[in-house]
Structure formats: structure tokens, C-alpha cells
Amino acid sequence: MSFLIGHYNYWIVIFLMMTGLYVVIAHGNLVKKIVGLNIFQASVFILFISMGKVEGGSAPIVTEGITLYSNPVPHVLILTAIVVSVATTALALALVVRINEAYHSVEEDEIHEQDQSF
Amino acid sequence: MITQHLPILQVIIPLLAAPLCLLASDRRVAWAVSLAASWAAFLIAALLLDQTLKLGVITYALGGWSVPWGIEYRVDNVNALVLLIVTAVSSAVLTFARRSVVKELPSARVHLFYALYVLCLGGLLGITVTGDAFNLFVFMEISALASYALIALSEERRALTASYQYLFMGTIGATFILIGIGLLYMMTGTLNIQDLSQRLPAVAASHTVETAFAFITVGISIKIALMPLHLWLPNAYTYAPSVVTAFIAATATKVAFYVLLRFMFTIFGVSFAFKNMPLSIIFMALALTAIFAGSTAAIFQDNVKRMLAYSSVAQIGYMILGISLASATGLTAAILHLFNHALMKGALFLALGCVCYRLGVANIEQMRGLGRGMPWTMAAFVIGGLSLVGVPLTVGFISKWYLVVGALEQGWWPLAVAVLLTSLLTLIYVWRVVEAAYFQTPVAARADDVREAPRSMLLPTWALIIANLYFGIDTRLTVDVASQAARQLLGLSG
């Protein structure tokens, strides 16, 4: 039982990661796929951030009387990864806009049909 | 002195050139800026290789922050060679690009193309030069995002869906690598590649490290386009503008392959990757599948760009096969093939770029009788194709020779036979193009109005072709560096 509760952050991460990947694979709508990709990436952010937590540790700001701090490095890394993720989402959305202009659809099977027809 | 700062200049010059190209908003200025940046990067890469050969490993503390606080850039024989080939191909492609891009892209997007191109180049060089695992991820995303956008620049609408597909697979791959790096950080408390390699053996028995290994291997395999994770590659190469295909085919997968070498050999180490984990057998099976299926698929393609894309899938198989041998000779073959394949595919895709410049398409049907209209272009294609097959006096022969020797060393002669047999498959698809170009009657509608490609496009193509021949005859530089690099990776002396 303590194994289940003690690792609750990992269960959340695994659940989100699988949800995200499932949406990416199962959905035919190009915008929904991007949502799935974002959920997948968010799960990795949580994995990193929860890893920086030190039990009993305070926020990593130097204050008198505190000796134990949480590890700030994973947070900083994830700030960068979030920026990357935002850029990826923006690019993906821009692509979808242009796909919509070219095919008049954002459904995968309809686009596929149009490409097959010629 | 400025020579001390070469590792950072290698990355920063292309990165700074990108906003300059954007601001210039004039296609001639943007071309000049990006060309200067690329050739400067090539010069720096040559200097760096020279230094590593003379003085050994170069380390550079970014911003003066020493390890473990700061990011370290680290150049040894392995990445010096990768830097050299990436910048060389990039410079040749950019020289070629001026005429080709104007023809294939809407004029409003041309300066954007150059900005994205140098951004992608900067990202690739960053991946190669950095000694920090997280920094590697960031540069990987910089180059990947730039290459998705480069592919989507094409006027062909299928390039959009190809780019979208590549974006998804690439992002999932990069995120897998990020998960792996996070798990490694969890176990060791460091992101520096050297520190990781020292601290990992102590904790190697844990499941966390094994999970990290699995995530990183799969993540990089997506980036390399190792069969069966290659699905993004054929469409992306086929529908991207010709210059983009030439650049990405010759550099992006090679740099990803370098990342694989770095993680498997420097970080995890040979004994973990090949004894604790069954990497050898997995890679060998996947490599052989890639070689057979990729070459066979290439035979049935009518679009020559697509044919070469499937050929890339097969050629990546040869590199992975070299790794799976886990010996000094096998690894030498893999590194040599990295270098040589960049030269072959760069040259072949540039030759196709010339064809697309005149014909607008690169279908076998349309290329009938082209040997008469474009003799220099098609001659370049033939020599590049022979190199791909692995005919003696070309670079393709050198890497296949080492691969066969590596297989025989271990007594795996069926593997050596497989390498030789699959070269025949390569011969078949190269021959289809040669037959169409030289032995069939020209397309009637085209008559004789097809002229040779402009000289500014032929020269870079032939420069790469001559490199194909030169390094196939004078192998001192490549074989020496590759075998030294292999020994460094395996942790043997020298």
C-alpha cells in the first residue's frame, strides 16, 4: 500500500503520459492530436518537477535557519522544456492552419483521401 | 586568444546569422549572410579537428562557469569528424541553394528559408559539440523545429502533412530522450556527460537506469529513423524542397546517429549497453530488416527522391549494423559510414536538385533520356549511385569493406554475405535511374529544350562527388580519425 501511495507522483505521470500518447495515436483530428501531445509533454514536466522535491526541504531560497532545500535544478530545466513545448505547439498549430487552407479539412482520413485521389 | 573560443564560435555564428537573415528580408543579403556563416563554421570545424588530432580532447567552459556548475563543450575525435562533415555538406548545399530556392519557393519566403537553414545548422552543431545532456536536448529541439518548418516551406501541400507527421514523431522521440535524461539525473545528480559516465557504473544495476536506457534508445532511434520508426522519413524527404532534402538527409540523421554513439558508448558504456542489455541482438535484427526492407522498397519507387529516401533507411541500417558488432572495427565502419553516407546522399540529392530545377519533378518516367540533356548532372548521379552501391574507388566501398571485415572478425560470415547481397539491391535501384537516363528514348513532349543545370548548382554537386572519389582513394584522414574515434568511444587507449 505504501508503495502505491509513496509513489503517487509517478502514477499521475504514467496516467497522463498514457492518456497523451493514446490521444495522439487514436484521434484523427489534427488539433486534438496536438492536445494529446501537450498532455504527454506535461506528464514529463511533472516527472521532472516532482523529482526535485526533497522531503522536509524548503523552497530553494537562501534564508537564515534553514539548512535543507529542495533541488531547484529540475525546475529550471523544465522552464526551458516548457519554452520548447510552447514553440512546438505553436509550430504544430501553424501547420494545421496551413493544412486547413490547403485541404479544407483537419481530419486525418479526409486529408488522406484527397491525397489518394490524385 | 580566439582559438580558445572555437567550440562556442562553432555554434554561435550560425545561431546569430539566423536573426540577421530574418532582419535583412532580402534574399540576396540573407543568402550571403548564411553562406558566410556556414563557411566560417566549416573553417572552425576544420581547425577544431586539427587541434583535437594534435592536442587531444578540447574542453570549453561556457561563460567561464566551470563544471559542474556550467555547461561544458567538449570536442574529441568523434564529434570533430561529425562537425566537419555537417559543416562541409551544409556549405556545399548553401552554395547550391541560391538558384534552386528561387525556383522552388515563393519569393516572399526565401529569406525565411535562409534564417531557418542556419538555425537548423546551429542546432545540429550544438548537439554535436556540447558535453551536457540537457543542453543536447535543447539543441536537438532547436534543429528539429527548424527542420519541420523548412520542410513545410515547400509549395507542395503534402509537405505540410509530412512536416506535421515528422513534428509528432520527432517531438515524441525528443521527449523520450528527455525522460531518459531526467531518470539519469535522478540517479546520478549530474547532467554533464563525463560525470554521468563516471557515476553511472555504480548505480547501473538499478531498474531506473535500465528504464532510462530504454527511453533514450527508442527516442534516438526515432530521430535516426531506424526501421520500424522510420515512418516520418520518406514523406519528409520526398515533399521537402530539394535543398532541404539534401541538407536534412545528409546531416540530421547523422547527428542523431552521433547522439546514439555518445549515449551508448560514452555515457552508458559498452559493458552496460551490450552485456547487461541485449542491444547487440536487437540492433542487428533491426539493422538487417532496415537494409532489406529499405532497399527493396527503394526498388519499387518511381519518384527518385522517394527512392533515395528509402535508400537512406537502408543505409542507416548499415551504420546500426556497425554498432551492433560492438567491436573496434565495427564501430570504425559505423563512423566511416556516417561520414561517407553524408557525402553520398548530399551529392545524390544535389544532383536531383539540378534535375528538379530543370524538370520540376524527379520521376523516373520524366527522366528518360536525360543523360543527353543534362550530361554533367546525370554523370554526378551515376558516380554518387556507384558510391552508394559500394564500388571500389568510392567512399561507399571503404565503409562496406570495414563492415565486412568487422563481421568476419567475429566469425559472422552470413552477415558479411548479407552486406554484399544487399549491395546488389542497391545496384538495382540505381540502375533503374541510369537505364532511364541513358538507354531510353527521351520524353517526346520535352524535346531538346532541357539544358544543363546552371554552373552555380553543378559546382557544389561536383565538389561533393569529387569528395566521394577522393575519400574513396585517399583514406588516411577518414580511416585514421574514425578508428581513433572508435577506440576513444570504446575506452581503449589512443
| pLDDT (0 to 100) of residue B444 | 64
- Residue at which a domain ends, from B277, B292, B317: B277
| pLDDT (0 to 100) of residue B88 | 94
Which has more pLDDT, A15 or A112?
A15
| pLDDT (0 to 100) of residue B447 | 52
Are B134 and A80 in contact (CB < 8 Å)? Answer: yes
DSSP secondary structure string for all residues of B306-354: HHHHHHHHHHHHHHHHHHHT-SHHHHHHHHHHHHHHHHHHHHHHHHHHH
From CA B223, how far away is CA B167, in angstroms rounded? 11
| pLDDT (0 to 100) of residue A80 | 92
Which of B145, B160, B182 lies at the smallest CB-CB distance from A51? B182
From CA A58, how far away is CA A48, in angstroms rounded? 17
From CA B240, how far away is CA B164, in angstroms rounded? 12
- Residue at which a domain ends, from B247, B277, B307: B277
Q: What does the pLDDT look like over B449-463, one tens digit per residue?
A: 678 888 888 899 999
Q: Which residues of A touch B182 (CB under 8 A)?
A: 44, 47-48, 51, 74, 77
The domains found in chain A, sorted by start residue, are 2-116 (1.10.287.3510)
User: In chain A, positions 48-77, which contact chain B (CB-CB < 8 Å)?
Assistant: 48, 51, 73-74, 77
Q: Which residues of B touch A84 (CB under 8 A)?
A: 138, 141, 145
B266, B285: one domain: no
- Kindly identify which residue of chain B lies nearest to residue A111, measuring between CA atoms: B161
Helix (H, G, I), strand (E, B) or coil at A64: coil
Q: What does the pLDDT look like over B462-473, one tens digit per residue?
A: 999 999 989 888
Are A103 and B137 in contact (CB < 8 Å)? Answer: no
B265, B292: one domain: no
B411, B429: one domain: yes
pTM for this prediction: 0.93
Rg (chain B; Cα; Å): 21
Are A77 and B134 in contact (CB < 8 Å)? Answer: yes
| pLDDT (0 to 100) of residue B137 | 93
B100, B230: one domain: yes
Are B145 and A88 in contact (CB < 8 Å)? Answer: yes
Are A99 and B185 in contact (CB < 8 Å)? Answer: no
Greatest distance between any 2 Cα atoms in chain B:
71
Assembly ipTM: 0.93
B425, B295: one domain: yes
| Three-state secondary structure string covering B54-89 | HHCCEEEEHHHCCCCCCCEEEECHHHHHHHHHHHHH
Q: Kindly report the average pLDDT of chain B as a whole number.
A: 89
| pLDDT (0 to 100) of residue A15 | 93
Q: Could you tell me if A88 lies within 8 Å of chain B, comparing CB atoms?
A: yes
pLDDT over 50 at B98, yes or no: yes
Question: B60 has which bridge partners?
Answer: B73
| pLDDT (0 to 100) of residue B177 | 94
Domain hosting B428: range is 279-494
- Kindly identify which residue of chain B lies nearest to residue A36, measuring between CA atoms: B168
Which of A40, A44, A115 lies at the smallest CB-CB distance from B158? A115
| Mean pLDDT of all residues in B39-50 | 92
| Mean pLDDT of all residues in A88-101 | 94
Q: What does the pLDDT look like over A17-64, one tens digit per residue?
A: 999 999 999 988 999 999 999 999 999 999 988 888 877 778 888 888
From CA B485, how far away is CA B494, in angstroms rounded? 9
**Chain center to CA of B348:** 14
Q: What does the pLDDT look like over B179-238, one tens digit per residue?
A: 999 999 988 888 888 888 888 888 888 888 999 999 999 999 999 998 888 889 998 999
**Half-sphere exposure of residue A73: CA atoms within 13 angstroms, side-chain side:** 13
pLDDT over 80 at B411, yes or no: yes
> Tell me, what DSSP letter sits at residue B450?
P
pLDDT over 70 at B420, yes or no: yes
- Residue at which a domain ends, from B242, B277, B312: B277
8 A C-beta contact, residue B53 and residue B481: yes
Are B167 and A99 in contact (CB < 8 Å)? Answer: no
User: In chain A, positions 14-43, which contact chain B (CB-CB < 8 Å)?
Assistant: 21, 24, 30, 33, 37, 40-41
B34, B69: one domain: yes
| pLDDT (0 to 100) of residue B449 | 64
Rg (chain A; Cα; Å): 20
| pLDDT (0 to 100) of residue A117 | 61
**Chain center to CA of B307:** 17
B201, B120: one domain: yes
* Domain count along chain B: 2
B229, B323: one domain: no
**How many other β-carbons are positioned within 10 Å of the β-carbon of residue B412?**
14
Are B178 and A44 in contact (CB < 8 Å)? Answer: yes
> Which of A27, A23, A4, A5 is closest to A106 using CA atoms?
A27
Which pLDDT band holds residue B494 (cuts at 50, 70, 90)?
A: very low
Q: Kindly state the percentage of chain B with pLDDT values over 90.
A: 48
Which pLDDT band holds residue B385 (cuts at 50, 70, 90)?
A: very high
B16, B51: one domain: yes
B194, B287: one domain: no
B228, B189: one domain: yes
Q: What does the pLDDT look like over B303-328, one tens digit per residue?
A: 999 999 999 999 999 999 999 988 88
Q: Which residues of B touch A92 (CB under 8 A)?
A: 164, 167-168
CA angle B70, B261, B336 (to 5 degrees): 125
B270, B351: one domain: no
Which has more pLDDT, A6 or B142?
B142
Query: Closest approach of chain A CAs to the CA of B145, in angstroms?
Result: 7
| pLDDT (0 to 100) of residue B445 | 62
**Chain center to CA of B367:** 27
Size of interface A-B (CB pairs under 8 A): 67
Q: What does the pLDDT look like over B243-256, one tens digit per residue?
A: 999 999 999 999 99
